[in-house]
Amino acid sequence: MNSTSTVEPFPADLVIEVVPRDLSAYRAGDCGIPYAFVFDSGVPGPRVAINALTHGNEFCGMVAVCAMLDAGLRPERGSLSLSFANVAAYESFDIAAPFESRQLVHNLNRIWSDAELAGDQRSPEFDRAREMRSLFDPAYALLDIHSTSQAVPPFFVYSPSTGNAASGALADGIGLPPVQLLMPGGMQTGTPLIEYGPFSPKRVRSASSTEPFAPGAGGAVVVECGQHFAARAGVVATQVSLAFLRQTGVLSDASASSWSIRLTGVDVFAEPRTPPRRYQLLSTHVIQTPHLRWARPLQGMEVFAKDELIGHDGELEIRSPCDDCTIFMPLASYRPAVPGREGAYFTRPVA
């Protein structure tokens, strides 16, 4: 294999339909945390959280949260927190290098372990995570909104565990999108927000708890809404947010339908549901060299037979660990391979 590599130019069909809007009007927030809001209905119910911009160039969450804030959406039961996480990275966006504003220093979605947050490591991302902890500590359920580099069908990501089936039930109850990526062993490359504290898959919850809306008891999911810069991803993010609020009981069925029509132009709840399609994470290929290349073009959801060649990372052959190995979030050929970052997720379909 040739030891040199070049990054291909952005594909001709990579259209940037959404660019950052000015978020300065939201800077003060209303709960002591910049760019974060907490709305209490005054009626008993769960405290739920919807978070956007964990990564600075994933604009669909910004679209959804801005839509809800601008329209004055409020919970009918319990309380709702809405937040923009990595605004500093978001504000660094350069349309000439649209993937570079994902983070400033650290991946904000890999540093949510108690040990790391209690440590002394500093960066804009570590500082922001510590600032936001109190927003998520009391949350019964969490929706973290993301998007993907390449145009693939939207999907959920969550970490099921033997002691807590809440996150899977949450994804099933939301109902859209139907594709689910399960990480029974966790992320493997760090601790994402959906595994933080109350939502840790290692935390076993008692079914006899006397707290009906105990922190973390309702589960936590990531929704990947489509390609970063596609307008459709913002629509998906908004619809999934409303379905999350409906599923957790923060909005009634009728109210969620009304908001869906108002914010997205359709009643997404009137559309037929597709049965879930679940995939279990087997392993994550962490990039070893700057010379990662796939054996054939990968976008996501490609299927490989056991031992079939997937690609090369320098001199290392990457082969499929099983039959029906399904690829999630592979590094695009037009992006540089950065050692230490994730190159692809290898999964298998499960019932």
3-state secondary structure the chain: CCCCCCCCCCCCCCCCCCCCCCCHHHCCCCCCCCCEEEEECCCCCCEEEEEECCCCCCHHHHHHHHHHHHHCCCCCCCEEEEEECCHHHHCCCCCCCCCHHHCCCCCCCCECCHHHHHCCCCCHHHHHHHHHHHHHCCCCEEEEEEEECCCCCCEEEECCECCECHHHHHHHHHCCCCEEEECCCCCCCCECHHHCHHHCCCCCCCCCCCCCCCCCCCEEEEEEEEECCCHHHHHHHHHHHHHHHHHCCCCCHHHHHHHHHHHHCCCHHHCCCCCCEEEEEEEEEECCCCCEEECCCCCCCCEECCCCEEEEECCEEEECCCCCEEEECCCCCCCCCCCCCEEEEEEEEEC
Provide the angle, in degrees to the nearest 10, between the axes of the packed helices 59-71 and 231-247: 60
User: What's the CATH number for 279-350?
Assistant: 2.40.50
Q: Residue ranges of the domains in the chain?
A: 24-275, 279-350
pLDDT tens series, the chain, 351 aa: 333 444 666 676 678 999 999 999 999 999 999 999 999 999 999 999 999 999 999 999 999 999 999 999 999 999 999 999 999 999 999 999 999 999 999 999 999 999 999 999 999 999 999 999 999 999 999 999 999 999 999 999 999 875 568 999 999 999 999 999 999 888 889 999 999 999 998 776 555 456 889 999 999 999 999 999 999 999 999 999 999 999 999 999 999 999 999 999 999 999 999 999 999 999 999 999 999 999 999 999 999 999 999 999 999 999 999 999 999 999 999 899 999 999 999 999 998
Task: Walk across the sheet containing 36-40 and list its strands.
Answer: 36-40, 79-84, 47-52, 141-148, 219-227, 155-158, 179-182, 277-286, 342-350, 325-328, 303-304
Query: 24-275 architecture in CATH?
Result: 3-Layer(aba) Sandwich (3.40)
At residue 140, the pLDDT reads 97
At residue 174, the pLDDT reads 98
At residue 109, the pLDDT reads 98
Do 235 and 223 touch, CB atoms closer than 8 A?
A: no
pTM of the entire predicted model? 0.94
Task: Say how far apart CA 157 and CA 167 lie, in whole Å.
Answer: 9
At residue 337, the pLDDT reads 96
Residue among 285, 347, 341 nearest 316 (CA):
285
At residue 187, the pLDDT reads 84
